[in-house]
Chains A and B, each alone.
Chain A
Amino acid sequence: MTTASLAPEWHDSKRYLWPMGAVVIALPLLGWALYALSGWAISWWLAPIFVYGVIPLFDWLIGTDENNPPEARVPTLERERYYRWAVYLAVPIEYLSVVFGAWMFAHGTLAWHEIVGLTISVAMISGVSINTAHELGHKTDTFERWLAKIALGPVAYGHFFVEHNRGHHVRVATPEDPASSRFGENFYEFLPRSMIGSLRSAWALERKRLARQNRSVWSIHNENLQAWAITVVFFGALTVWLGWIVLPFLLVQAFYGATLLEVVNYLEHYGLKRQTRADGSYERCQPQHSWNSNHVVTNIFLYHLQRHSDHHANPTRSYQALRHFSEAPQLPSGYASMILLAYLPPLWFKIMDPKVVAHYRGDMRLANIKPSRHDAVIARYAAQRASGVV
């Protein structure tokens, strides 16, 4: 045996699938192509059919993959430019899809149900593009950070760029984080709390940072204003070109797209809480503070976002190198399936509440609970625990 054969030999089984993340962003265009070929009106609904139907089905059929790259392979894997280009590609496709959607909305002479399908399709890809921006916005490279802001333009969610890194990552899985959902909180309660809380936090973070530089919050250096300006210019240009008629289309798709991010936020940390140390600070974010999934299909379309524990422990680690942790709590299926459950609170609570309770072995004092139900939840599970049910 030669020493060469002992070197870490590892191949990324998902390597050639990563560009699928950019292909999904082209779904409104692919829907149009399908319509041209088939004449089926349902083609305009291609993106929601894909995200809500095809991905959950294939997650179920194909299942999970717990394969991790060996640590020795990570440095070279991180440096491979191929993986970065696979992500960059999604940004121009996003703009093509939204511009196409706006033109089709204004001039496509579509029936009302086709208009609805088109608007939701464009909303889905705007929403999924927040995931593109997420992958780019965690990097320290100036080009990638600008590309992240550009990717957030069509969904009008530029403050995510600020809030996610400096707000959510710092306060994740604590009651102070607007983007960490609480046990007993349904998605429709979480949505406005997260949307408004994140916006306020992003503004406060930039105010504080700019004050350190003796600058006003209304400065050109405010990264919220920079990112929102991209939306204003983009929506403004489309309005000048296609008329006022496209504004409701743009606003509705942006809002719906943002709800797609928020429903993913909802399921990433549901009920999980970091404990406080003797000095009052929170313990570090660890694998047990995020919900994970190894379902292959969603992992490809979301750049391993579901390996969420490793992402929070190592936020600058690139997607291709993120690892599965066996000690991290696992969702019963991929994010694409779980968002359907999140839309239906009684089903969500039925499936997820026992998982949170099991995670804390019935000691719900350790969980992040909706304040109005806090005492009742603790009392209920303490009683069950005492009688040996949990």
Chain B
Amino acid sequence: MPFKKWRCVICDYVYDEELGAPNDGIEPGTRWADVPDSWSCPDCGASKADFDMVEID
């Protein structure tokens, strides 16, 4: 399954499954579904529920 990207609707930060979010302890390759619900946008702090899925560029 190809990796997907998710964009924060508040500040435009992109979560790329391929890159993960190592600064928050989320390993590269972590699927969006496996990102904990308590995680929030590293740029603006919006909650996981505030993200929208975006198509791969």
Interface residues of A (CB under 8 A from B): 138, 140, 165-166, 169-170, 205, 209, 277, 279, 281, 284-285, 312-316
Contact = CB atoms under 8 A, between A and B. Distances in A.
A205 B11 CA distance: 10
Contacts of B9: 140
Given A284-B45, A314-B45, A315-B45, A277 B23 contact: yes
B28 interface: no
Main secondary structure of the interface of B (DSSP, over half): loop
Interface string B21-57: 0010000000000000000101111110010000000
A313 B50 CA distance: 14
Given A313-B45, A314-B45, A169 B50 contact: no
Given A140-B9, A313-B45, 20 more contacts: A140-B10, A140-B50, A165-B10, A165-B44, A166-B10, A166-B12, A169-B11, A169-B43, A170-B11, A170-B43, A170-B44, A205-B12, A277-B23, A281-B23, A284-B45, A285-B45, A314-B40, A315-B44, A316-B10, A316-B47
B9 to A, nearest CB: 6
Interface of B: 9-13, 23, 40, 42-47, 50
B46 A315 contact: yes
Nearest to A172: B44
| A-B residue pairs, 9 tightest by C-beta | A169-B44, A170-B43, A166-B11, A170-B11, A313-B45, A165-B10, A315-B45, A166-B12, A169-B11
A149 to B, nearest CB: 16
Given A140-B50, A279-B23, A316-B50, A169 B45 contact: yes
Contacts of B10: 138, 140, 165-166, 169, 315-316
Nearest to A209: B12
Main secondary structure of the interface of A (DSSP, over half): loop
Q: Looking at A169, A170, A313, which has the most chain B CB atoms within 10 Å of its CB?
A: A170
12 contacts: A140-B10, A165-B10, A165-B11, A165-B44, A169-B10, A170-B44, A205-B12, A209-B12, A279-B23, A281-B23, A315-B45, A316-B50
Contacts of B23: 277, 279, 281
Contacts of A169: 10-11, 43-45
Nearest to B42: A284
A266 B44 CA distance: 19
A284 B40 CA distance: 10
A313 B47 CA distance: 10
A239 B11 CA distance: 36
A285 to B, nearest CB: 6
A166 B13 CA distance: 9
Contacts of A313: 45
Contacts of A279: 23
Contacts of A285: 44-45
Contacts of B50: 140, 316
A313 B40 CA distance: 9
A205 B13 CA distance: 12
